[in-house]
Structure 1
Amino acid sequence: MYVHPAFHIDHDQAFRLLQDRAFGTLVVADPAARPAAVHLPFLAHRTAEQGFRVELHVARANRLHELISPEGQPALLTCQGPDAYISPDWYGTPNQVPTWTYVAVHLTGKLFVLPEQDGPAHLDRLSAKFENRLLPKHPWTADKMNVSRRAAMTRAVVTLDLIVPPDGIDAQSKLIQHKGSVEHQGAIAGLRARGDASSVAIAAMMEKSWAARDG
């Protein structure tokens, strides 16, 4: 991913987005160099080497996992936050052009298939993360399933690990940081007037980013 210097975000900010979103697109190339992609939830972790480790899984019926060699397979995981269109009319200054604002992280690393016995613990961690977002609802756990059904569902997935070195992390927050106060205020007002969740989220991020820059 090309990252404009004005929009670059550091690894801490990238990690926060990965943890907040926890959903992305995994891309692996087949032997003919044709990309295969799958959309999936994940859990991101920091590593001692200052990179990331991402645990995820695919359906066993999805042949993507068959592309992964025992030595690991090069792979790309993309994760995107909110995004929104910006109209030049909102800026309040002349000679502007349309743009699209967004936040995204690309992780390039090696993908490994984990032993089948690692599956239940991975699935428990994953469901716990998202169930905790529903508090005060009492969290769902796999204990609510009978043993045979749980075992069958676990066998139906393949657990994966993506190991990402520090130089495999590309992240940017494209929020018109290169423009001035007038343009920011106009764009924020325009986004909030639209009212959809993504536009409102981008407006809040732009406001926070500008406040931090302004001191």
Structure 2
Amino acid sequence: MHPAPAFAVKDEQRLLAWIGAHPFMTLAAAPQGRPLIAQAPVVIRSLSGGLALDFHLSRGNALATALAGGFRGVLLGLGPDAYISPDWYESVDQVPTWNYVSVEAEGSVTALDENSLTTLLDDLSAQEEARLLPKAPWTRAKMSSGVFERMHTAILGCRLSIERLEGTFKLSQNKGVMDRAGAAAGLGDHPVAGLMRDEDA
């Protein structure tokens, strides 16, 4: 996370809403000392023990071999990013920078059992099919008998139990009103410009 307090987001509901809208995340961990990464879409879980993010990995993934013993990891979600030119500021003697949004969830990663993995896959497809409405949702009931079960054996279900949830929404909050407006105007219709305007609203 960026160290500047101006960019820090710790509001849990805001961060969960961001993850819900951008569920494809990068898992980073070093269970045997070697840094490893994997990408996966997540489903947010609100459990009796706290919040968690469920996802799945291919059995061939390097991190999958460590899953039986569990390990600590960080799931990173990235939003849009954009270069900010000093020419867009009203103030002089500025330097180039980069605006971006990122969310980090840190905690222990453990394996899901087979029933929980099936539930995860159903929930994940339902979550994403809902974004495609009014298209009729796809479900695994449309698959031929036995195909889902065979494919199921190629993946492992995972859960990251959230112990730390933080975000960096670096959107020129450290600049004056006119400089922020100039940077947003310079970006035109870039998604970061919209986020900057939302931050000022």
Q: TM-score under structure 2 normalisation?
A: 0.94
Q: Which residue of 2 aligns with 1:184?
A: 180
Q: Which residue of 2 aligns with 1:84?
A: 82
Shift of 1:52: 2.5
Letter in 1 for 2:200: W
Write the distance in 2 (CA, Å) between the matches of 1:102 and 1:161. 27
Q: Which residue of 1 aligns with 2:27?
A: 26
Shift of 1:114: 1.0
Secondary structure at 1:38 match in 2? strand
Letter in 1 for 2:108: K
Secondary structure at 1:130 match in 2? helix
Cα offsets for 1:20-59 (capped at 9, x unmatched):
100110112132x11111111111234456x530000001
Letter in 2 for 1:181: V
Letter in 2 for 1:205: L
8 A Cα contact 2:2 2:168, kept in partner: no
Secondary structure at 1:16 match in 2? helix
Identity of aligned residues (%): 37
Write the distance in 1 (CA, Å) between the matches of 2:107 and 2:179. 38
Q: Which residue of 1 aligns with 2:66?
A: 67
Secondary structure at 2:132 match in 1? coil
Q: Which residue of 2 aligns with 1:203?
A: 193
Q: Which residue of 2 aligns with 1:153?
A: 151
Secondary structure at 1:146 match in 2? coil
Q: Which residue of 2 aligns with 1:119?
A: 117
Write the distance in 2 (CA, Å) between the matches of 1:81 and 1:144. 33
Q: How many residues align?
A: 200
Cα offsets for 1:37-84 (capped at 9, x unmatched):
1111111234456x53000000112231111244x3111110111111
Letter in 2 for 1:74: R
Structure whose residues are more often helix by fraction: 1
In structure 1, the gaps of 5 or more residues are none
Q: Which residue of 1 aligns with 2:171?
A: 175
2:14 paired with 1:13: yes
8 A Cα contact 1:65 1:113, kept in partner: no
Alpha-carbon spacing, 1:69–1:155, altered in 2? closer, same or farther (3 Å): closer
Structure whose residues are more often strand by fraction: 2
8 A Cα contact 1:83 1:101, kept in partner: yes
8 A Cα contact 1:75 1:108, kept in partner: yes
Secondary structure at 1:147 match in 2? coil
Secondary structure at 1:95 match in 2? coil
Write the distance in 1 (CA, Å) between the matches of 2:86 and 2:19. 30
Shift of 1:11: 1.7
8 A Cα contact 2:7 2:168, kept in partner: yes
Alpha-carbon spacing, 1:3–1:18, altered in 2? closer, same or farther (3 Å): farther
Query: CA-atom RMSD, angstroms?
Result: 1.5
Q: Which residue of 2 aligns with 1:142?
A: 140
Q: Hey, which bits of structure 1, 4+ residues long, moved more than 4 A?
A: none
Q: TM-score under structure 1 normalisation?
A: 0.88
Letter in 1 for 2:31: D
